[in-house]
């Protein structure tokens, strides 16, 4: 079996560490794994698998020549600077930031939905990973759209603090602890207190009143699905550490009901339907943390409109929404394309 040299950029962060973990879990065929981060993190140690410890190297000093694939999770500004550097050295960059997602020459990939578009990586040697909330959504939408053609989607998200990084997780922990100690915690990472609260605001506001997170879901869904799907989203941050949930209303052009949707989704690899109409007969973020799939519950007809259903969609945002999706892209890449034989044409 051919093996590949893989670099993890942002290896000391939540998603970077998880990328290392997922690579080991899925037995990705590596010849060498390199952990990269900023100079201030150089020399730190991170785990790869159960036994191997890697010493972090400085990204600023790293030569990507000879590296086959780099998984980036270090923020948009780092990706903007270093993905093209990796690409110019012949290394395929799989980027978890939002920087390249809407670039028409960069494929935006969820392997269960549009793996065929990975072939477009040769345009810039960069592949984009979607927003975590979009990734789980399109896994559910694609098979339903193929069956009955989606007319409109309206959804609300319930997004965990891990989607905003380690500092956000620390803020939830410290605020919760402080409240029990009769302290008055002040928000720093979030615009309002996140402990025992929900905040209908993720990322910056745009002129039309949507937040950038809501815009991402609209724009990215259409790009990944390959068709303009009218979509309205309200994105909400909730006091959960890991796992995003979504309440989704889907209207179809052709016949669709809850029974049909359940049958379709139950046959999709990567989806687990857990829909029992009893107390606890549904999935929540707490149960799916650490899982790679998308979990669907509460499938039911919308009595107010024909050919319209509601469903509840849950996934681990750090895994399927980020690390696992990136590794799945890398798996498809090496399975279907000869990276070393490809003629690199980076503009």
201 Cβ contact partners less than 8 Å away, ≥ 6 residues apart: 191, 211, 237
| Residue the block writes with tokens 């794994």 | 33
- Dig out the tokens for 82 from the structure: 């270093």
Residue 244 appears among annotated catalytic residues: yes
Distance CA(8)–CA(201), nearest Å, equals: 30
Distance CA(237)–CA(190), nearest Å, equals: 9
Pairing outcome for strands 231-237 and 150-159: parallel
Q: Which strand (E) or helix (H) includes residue 286?
A: helix 285-288
Contacts of range 164-172, beta carbons closer than 8 Å, 24 or more positions apart = 164/189, 164/190, 164/202, 164/237, 165/13, 165/14, 165/189, 166/13, 166/14, 168/194, 169/14, 169/241, 172/239, 172/241
Choosing from 145, 235, 244, 313, the catalytic residue is 244
Cβ atoms of 49 and 8 within 8 Å: the answer is: no
Stated length of the chain: 347
Residue 313 appears among annotated catalytic residues: no
Q: How far is CA 207 from CA 69, 101, 214, 224, 232, in A?
A: 38, 21, 12, 24, 16
Q: How far is CA 221 from CA 47, 153, 168, 236, in A?
A: 34, 11, 26, 18
Choosing from 83, 132, 235, 313, the catalytic residue is 132
295 burial type by CB count under 10 A (0-12 exposed, 13-18 middle, 19+ buried): buried
Q: Which residues are catalytic?
A: 132, 244
């Amino acid at each position: 079996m051919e093996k590949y040299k893989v670099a993890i950029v942002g290896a000391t962060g939540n998603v970077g560490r998880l990328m290392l973990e997922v690579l080991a879990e899925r037995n990705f065929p590596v010849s060498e794994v390199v952990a990269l981060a900023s100079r201030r993190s150089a020399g730190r140690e991170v785990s790869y698998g159960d036994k191997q410890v890697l010493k972090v190297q400085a990204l600023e000093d790293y030569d990507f020549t000879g590296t086959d694939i780099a998984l980036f999770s270090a923020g948009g500004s780092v990706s903007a600077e270093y993905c093209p550097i990796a690409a110019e050295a012949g290394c395929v960059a799989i980027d978890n930031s939002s920087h390249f997602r809407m670039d028409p020459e960069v494929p935006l990939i969820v392997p269960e939905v549009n793996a065929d578009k990975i072939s477009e990586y040769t345009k810039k040697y960069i592949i984009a990973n979607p927003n975590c909330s979009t990734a789980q959504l399109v896994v559910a939408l694609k098979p339903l759209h193929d069956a009955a053609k989606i007319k409109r989607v309206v959804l609300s998200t319930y997004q965990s603090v891990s989607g905003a990084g380690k500092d956000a997780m620390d803020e939830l922990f410290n605020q919760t602890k402080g409240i029990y100690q009769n302290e008055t915690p002040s928000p720093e990472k979030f615009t309002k207190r996140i402990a025992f609260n929900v905040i209908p605001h993720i990322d910056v506001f745009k002129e039309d009143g949507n937040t950038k997170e809501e815009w991402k879901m609209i724009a990215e869904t259409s790009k990944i699905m390959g068709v303009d799907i009218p979509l309205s989203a309200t994105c909400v941050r909730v006091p959960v550490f890991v796992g995003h949930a979504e309440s989704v209303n889907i209207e179809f052009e052709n016949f669709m009901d809850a029974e049909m949707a359940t049958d379709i989704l139950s046959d999709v690899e990567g989806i687990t339907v857990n829909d029992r109409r009893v107390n606890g007969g549904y999935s929540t973020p707490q149960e799916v943390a650490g899982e790679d799939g998308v979990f669907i519950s509460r499938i039911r007809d919308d009595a107010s409109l024909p050919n319209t259903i509601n469903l509840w969609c849950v996934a681990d945002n750090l895994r399927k929404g980020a690390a696992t999706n990136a590794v799945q892209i890398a798996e498809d890449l090496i399975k279907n394309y000869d990276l070393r034989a490809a003629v690199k044409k980076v503009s």
